[in-house]
Structure 1
Amino acid sequence: MITDPATDVFEQHRPVLMGVAYRMLGRVTDAEDVVQDAWLRWSAADRDEVRDTRAYLVRITTRVALDRLRRIRARNEAYVGCWLPEPYAAEHAGLVPDSAEGALLAESASLAVLVLLESLSPLERAVFVLREAFGYPYGEIAAILDRAEPAVRQLAARARRHVDERRPRYDVDPGRRRELTERLLAAAREGDLDGLVQLLAPDARLVGDGGGKSRAPLRVLETADRIGRFLVGAARKSPPGRSVRLVELNGAPAALYLCDGTPDAVLQVDVVDGRVQTVHLIRNPDKLRSLTGL
């Protein structure tokens, strides 16, 4: 079997490229398009002139992702309801949760952090992803973005300060999150409103994303009582043939709802002080396609 060296080299770096693109864009399809564009540029490049293949490919991917991110921002201004990132299976997007750097990479691709990154400028987001998630030195980031190193340091400081000021101190223990997810699902299924309220923090929030294509709250639901009533009502209206299973998405446990085998919704919780602080509910079918077959 004849192999193409250019393809072999690119495939070796694909997980990192996908990881950068996904954290930049928060959408699987857009990230895959960016990586495909990077491949086309790599296949047409004079590779004999490339001294550091990984740096070259990351530079191409980051720049293409920046251009796409600016276009997505304009598209999202007309988005119906709340926007959430597209969930991604743990073995993808460069999460590598069993590596020494896995915890940092997993957090940088969590739904909570990706939502925060939406409030950064495109350049701030690129610097944050390259520096905080992948540990690139400032000098290399400056070369990737074609910016002066002092300017990159300023962008990094602004981005880190913005994220740190708004990042909730979630309990990231996967066992605890899985347990609370299971208890939340059971209480909703049994119509146990009091049990749900006990699992939820008093100031809990539920953020739903239907994208105008599936039923989901158009605004953030607040307080344990309102969220509990919503979850009980949704469970009662569950259609025949709907099932749920626990999977790992974005480095954390999540409930994947299936209707006749087709992904219908994803529910993932964030935990603070042993209680559910945030419920993310994704029902936009465009954001569930990559989960088919899980």
Structure 2
Amino acid sequence: MSTPSEPGRERSEPGPNAIVGERRHLTNLAYRLLGSLSEAEDAMQETYARWYAMSRQQQEAIESPGAWLTTVVGRVCLDVLGSARARRERYVGAWIPEPLPDRTEWSTGQASGGADPADRVTLDESVNMAFLVVLESMTPAERVVFVLHDVFRYPFAEIAEIVGRTPAACRQLASSARRRVRAAQVSALPTAAQAAPVRLFKEAWEAKDIEALVDLLDPDARMLADGGGLVGTVLRPVEGSKRIAEYLVHIADKAPG
């Protein structure tokens, strides 16, 4: 299988170091496509399994190993999104993307040391939780096209090969995805700038200070909760700053310690 070179990448020999060096890029891409670090890791492992299943001669025939790996992980993620969409339609309650664990200190906003593979995910606005929630509203094809083009800057001609559509169809999918983003009014506030209000919110929650929580929330705030199928949680949205604050304090009362 021959694939075009990736944007800004020259042809390279498919040596072990070059192939392993793609892990960070693949993890970043797969996490944004799937919204789950564990699923992203699975997709990356499947991609590498397909690479190493080829003979040396087949590997050497590939013009750009990095582009080949990106194409395969994109297709794997597209398949996962298709099956996940069916599962999530049967899911009881809200489905919320899986946040990156222990990536940001509450008080400083500085990234802490994380274990592999979390430490390979580059933090930027495309892993903002609100942004990931909007991605969940997209069809699998919309999401793959949007992330590849608008986040990773891949040309539509290369994306078309990954999703099995024409470049023109990919442009339409990207436009549809952008309309979803605009309609959701995702905040453009940089992640670092969110650290202070998040810290204040955490302190108010730990102090079980309902008034402080209400002051920090928009009066018309709407909260969704997802127990991941592992713990109990509210199945319907909690609406209004006061009700949300009371619910959060109720959770704090049950928290260990």
CA distance in 2, matches of 1:95, 1:32: 11
Q: Which amino acid aligns with 2:242?
A: D
Counterpart CA distance in 2 for 1:188 and 1:114 is 24
Q: Is the 1:127–1:141 Cα contact (8 Å) retained in structure 2?
A: yes
Residue 234 of structure 1 pairs with residue 251 of structure 2 = yes
- Work out the CA distance in 1 between the residues paired with 2:180 and 2:233: 29
- 1:190-247 Cα distance to aligned partner (Å, 9 max, x none): 332222111111111222111332132211111110011112222222223xxxxxxx
Q: Identity percentage over the alignment?
A: 39
Corresponding position of 1:34: 43
SS state at 1:215 partner: coil
- CA RMSD after TM alignment: 2.0
Contact 1:22–1:93 under 8 Å retained in 2: no
Q: Counterpart of 2:229?
A: 212
In the other structure, the counterpart of 1:224 is 241
Deviating 4+ runs (over 6 angstroms):
none
Matched length: 227
**Structure 2, unpaired ranges of 5+:** 1-13, 104-113
Query: Does the 8 Å contact 1:189/1:235 carry over to 2?
Result: yes
Partner of 1:12: 21
Decide whether the 8 Å contact of 1:184 with 1:199 is kept in 2.
yes
Equivalent in the alignment of 1:57: 69
Change (3 A) 1:216 1:7: farther
Task: For 1:10 and 1:202, locate their aligned partners in 2 and report how far apart those are by CA, in whole Å.
Answer: 50
Q: CA 1:178 to 1:201, structure 2 compared with 1: closer, same or farther past 3 Å?
A: same
Q: Name the one with the larger strand percent.
A: 1
The structure-2 alpha-carbon separation of the partners of 1:225 and 1:184, relative to structure 1 and needing over 3 Å to count, comes to same
Equivalent in 24, 27, 31 of residue 22 of structure 1: 31
Which structure 1 segments of 5+ residues have no match? 98-105, 241-294
**2:34–2:81 Cα contact (<8 Å) kept:** yes
Q: Which residue is equivalent to 1:113? A: 131
User: Against the structure 1 CA distance between its residues 235 and 170, is the aligned structure 2 distance closer, same or farther, given a 3 Å change threshold?
Assistant: farther
Q: How far off is 1:39 after superposition?
A: 0.4
C-alpha distance in 1, partners of 2:99/2:22?
22
2:218 is aligned, of 195, 198, 201, to 201
Taking the aligned partners of 1:67 and 1:173, their CA distance within structure 2 comes to: 30
Q: Secondary structure at the match of 1:202?
A: coil
With structure 1 as the length reference, what TM-score do the two structures score? 0.72
Aligned to 1:96: 122
Q: Find 1:128's aligned residue among 146, 170, 185.
A: 146
What's the CA shift for 1:82? 1.1
| Preserved CA contact (<8 Å) 1:18 1:93 | no
Distance apart, 1:173 and its partner CA: 5.0
**1:45-86: per-residue Cα shift (whole Å, max 9, x none)?**
311111112111100100111111111111112222211111
1:158-173 equivalence runs, <5 A: 158-173=176-191
User: CA 1:145–1:197 in 2, change beyond 3 Å: closer, same or farther?
Assistant: same
Q: Which residue of 2 aligns with 1:74?
A: 86
